Amino acid sequence: MILKVVRNGLGSLIAGVDTLTRPPKKQRDPQVQAQVDAAAATMALYQFHACPFCIKVRRAMHKLNVPVPLKDAQKDPVIEQELIQKGGKRQVPCLRIQESDGSERWLYESNAIIQYLETRFGDQ
């Protein structure tokens, strides 16, 4: 119980510091940004608000200016079950990627997610 309170408190503190110290967003031509926005809409980041690894991914998304929709698997049991059933485990962060052929890919681990986002959107 005490560890949970400490963990949540520290996570909230880290989230607050992140909000105050975020780097500026990547600037793109409006047409290119519209393409990035459309591609990001086909994804979803399953996350916990105060998770340091999720904060790391959200920070990278902000810097790259990739507005991937967020799904809080900690506060919404329906989203949590969706993550477990479709993704295979209750681990965050997890990026759900809707492929062009209609299949879904579930990408775990913050560094792998950030690398994917940088590769896909970094040069645009």
Characterize the bridge pairing of strands 70-72 and 43-47. Answer: parallel
Per-residue pLDDT tens digits for 14-59: 777 777 788 889 999 999 999 999 999 999 999 999 899 999 999 9
Structure tokens at 21: 């110290």
Structure tokens at 111: 């560094």
Asked if 68 and 40 count as a contact pair (C-beta separation under 8 A), the reply is: yes
pLDDT class of 96 with cuts at 50, 70, 90: very high
Q: What's the CA gap between 75 and 39, in Å, rounded? A: 26
Helix (H) or strand (E) holding 45: strand 43-47
Q: With the CA atoms of 60, 65, 70 and 74 taken in that order, what torsion angle do they form, in degrees rounded to the nearest 10?
A: 20
User: What is the pTM assigned to this prediction?
Assistant: 0.87
